[in-house]
Amino acid sequence: MIRFAWRQFRTQVVIAFGALAVIAVLFALTRPHLIHLYKLHETDALLNSYGSLENIERLLLVVPVLIGVFWGAPLIAHELEAGTHRLVWTQSVTRSRWLAVKLGLVGGASAALAGLLSWTVTWWSAPVDHVNMDRLSSPFVFGERGLVPLGYAVFAFTLGVVLGLLLRRTVPAMAATLTVFVAGRLAFGQWVRPHLIAPVHTAVALTGAAIRGLSVSTSNGPLTVIVNAPRAGDWMVSSSSQYALDGAGKVVYRLGDELRNVPPSALGAHLAKLDLHVTVAYQPASRFWSFQIAETAIFLAVALALVAFCFWWVRRRLS
């Protein structure tokens, strides 16, 4: 059974891991130059060199969904369409063993591919990450680093297998996998990830260095301010626009006419004299690995539940 499954899947494995080897060699050849520029503090040259290959690391945003669509969804759905599963079951191969071999072989290859690619990208881009300081604050960068690509890949694979089992048609299962995975990823990043760990709340004084933008809707309206994160790399999870507060914690009104008469170069100093602040919620950059571990564990737990469902469905419902 294992040999037969390998023969069915070996071409895809060879192509995928061959492409991974090419990427690894390319990154190994270019990383010393990135490190050299980083040590020389040549920030612009470093980012330019990184930008020329940045699209390659963007593969980590699509590799998990490609695994789910092209490896997970057809794995069982194709056999159900062709009816070959019944032939296998008559050859002294139990349903559980048939499913376990398929899930173990292809699922293991999926996890290995995503994990190795993620490790390669994380290792290669380390000099740039030290400059940009956006591993946690950027949802795109977060999804390309560390452990989460492996969790995404395993989840996408098992999701594709389950949808293939339920729909019993390859093309609909592939389309459904793409839709559900992308929607799930976006929803998780928008509504779940910010609350995996309780954010830190702090008051940010309105000084020139802290303010990114401000506005007053009317002369008597509240002062709305956008501030920078407390430290470089911190992830602001509160609303980007906050009402300015006075020392008593009350919203400040009727500053429109006063602020319009202040020159832009003196605006920061003028606001500092007024002793205003905003209250923000943020995630410190030091929590990057805590978020990585928590999010990966959630996606792996969901994948494990999907695997359990697969075994139950094949044993009890599949005919």
259-318: pLDDT as tens digits? 888 887 788 788 888 888 899 999 999 999 999 999 999 999 999 999 999 999 988 877
pTM, entire model:
0.91
Q: What is the mean pLDDT of residues 16-32?
A: 96
Confidence of residue 127 (pLDDT cuts 50, 70, 90): very high
Tokens standing for 124? 């290669």
Q: What share of the chain is helix, strand, coil (3-state, %, to 5)?
A: 65, 10, 25
Tokens standing for 55? 């699209």
How many other C-beta atoms lie within 10 A of the C-beta of residue 198?
Answer: 8
At 63-113, the pLDDT tens digits run: 999 999 999 999 999 888 877 666 565 666 788 888 898 899 999 999 999
Confidence of residue 213 (pLDDT cuts 50, 70, 90): confident
Does the structure show a pLDDT above 80 at 17? yes
Tokens standing for 219? 């002369």
Q: Is 221 left (phi over 0), alpha (psi -120 to 50) or beta?
A: beta
CA distance 195 to 287: 13
CA distance 181 to 185: 6
Q: CB of 281 within 8 A of CB of 216?
A: no
How many other C-beta atoms lie within 10 A of the C-beta of residue 205?
Answer: 14
Q: CB of 76 within 8 A of CB of 102?
A: yes
Q: CB of 168 within 8 A of CB of 74?
A: no
CA distance 159 to 183: 13
Q: CB of 155 within 8 A of CB of 73?
A: no
Residue 143 sits at φ, ψ, to 5 deg, of -75, -5
Does the structure show a pLDDT above 90 at 23? yes
Average pLDDT, the chain: 90
Tokens standing for 135? 């591993």
Helices and strands counted in the chain (H then E): 14, 6
Tokens standing for 147? 């452990």
Q: Which residue has the higher pLDDT, 60 or 112?
A: 112
